[in-house]
């Protein structure tokens, strides 16, 4: 811990912290008398397909509290500040979704009924490295964006449609933080770290595909296409991977550049040996 850390006002992460502070809201700000427009069967199906997102909000909240000390160890004060707003966002989403379940008089699925949820969050929290955690959270946030976006588009004037609109703004800040933080480390990132992150991407998308396969029928009951959400998610993840410079093309270019530098270094040594032998 530093008594008087350096906080630069032009730090983009600090600016995200200020946006997070200004963007706070409460579930009590909404009119909970608004209709859901779901019949009994639709309400049950909705409660089930909402479960992975509900668990995700809890996992993100707990994960952020676990990863916060790692930002402190690295003396990244602005990141520590931002993570506090992140935790409050996730806590608010968790509390709000709990109220949704109570309003519908439904329960989420138990882990035994959808074991992929456990596998997903185990994979997400497997590493305590802050870079790994942020990358996994970025994928989860992109999924949440597409999930809430689908309900906002399908049920814009319902209670959950309005709640979704507000949550998406929080998710956008979370994505911006992860993208900026990881992107800023791109030039110094070892290739094995890039490979580890891309392996996590593949694992999480595979598990998510299995999860959506099991929930697809119930998603159809409420008019949501799970595979369309997954396609949008895959596209969004690949776009972020490219923007952050983690994709295969970037990696191969970096490897070629490194090989060229090694070749030039060897050539320089050879030239030096020739000059010494001539002397």
Q: Does the pTM exceed 0.75?
A: yes
- Please give the Cα distance from 226 to 195 (Å, whole number): 28
Q: Which residues of 83-108 are buried (b: 16+ CB within 10 A; e: fewer)?
A: bebbbbbbbbbbebbeebbeebebeb
Q: Would you identify the CATH topology of the domain 12-246?
A: Ribonucleotide Reductase, subunit A (1.10.620)
Asked if pLDDT for residue 269 goes beyond 60, the answer is no
pLDDT reading at 151 higher than 70: yes
Greater confidence (266 vs 27) lies with 27
CA angle in degrees (0–180, nearest 5) for 136-214-95: 55
């Amino acid at each position: 811990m530093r008594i008087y850390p350096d906080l630069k006002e032009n730090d983009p992460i600090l600016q995200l912290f200020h946006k997070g502070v200004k963007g706070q809201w409460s579930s009590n700000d909404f009119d909970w008398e608004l209709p859901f427009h779901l019949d009994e069967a639709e309400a049950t199906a909705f409660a089930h397909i909402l479960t992975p997102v509900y668990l995700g909000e809890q996992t993100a909240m707990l994960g952020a509290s676990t990863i916060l000390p790692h930002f402190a160890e690295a003396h990244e004060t602005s990141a520590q500040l931002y993570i506090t707003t992140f935790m409050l966002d996730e806590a608010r989403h968790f509390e709000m979704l709990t109220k949704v379940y109570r309003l519908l008089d439904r329960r989420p699925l138990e882990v035994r009924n959808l074991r992929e949820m456990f596998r997903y969050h185990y994979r997400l929290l497997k590493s305590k490295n802050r870079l790994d955690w942020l990358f996994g959270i970025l994928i989860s946030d992109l999924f949440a964006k597409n999930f809430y976006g689908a309900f906002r588009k399908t049920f814009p004037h319902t209670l959950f449609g309005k709640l979704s609109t507000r949550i998406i703004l929080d998710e956008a800040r979370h994505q911006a933080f992860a993208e900026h933080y990881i992107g800023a480390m791109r030039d110094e990132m070892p290739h094995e770290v890039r490979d580890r992150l891309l392996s996590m991407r593949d694992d999480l998308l595979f598990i998510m595909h299995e999860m959506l396969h099991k929930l697809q029928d119930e998603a159809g009951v409420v008019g949501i296409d799970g595979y369309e959400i997954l396609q949008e998610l895959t596209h969004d993840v690949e776009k972020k991977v490219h923007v952050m410079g983690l994709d295969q093309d970037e990696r191969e270019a970096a490897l070629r550049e490194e090989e060229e530098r090694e070749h030039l270094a060897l050539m320089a040594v050879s030239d030096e040996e020739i000059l010494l032998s001539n002397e």
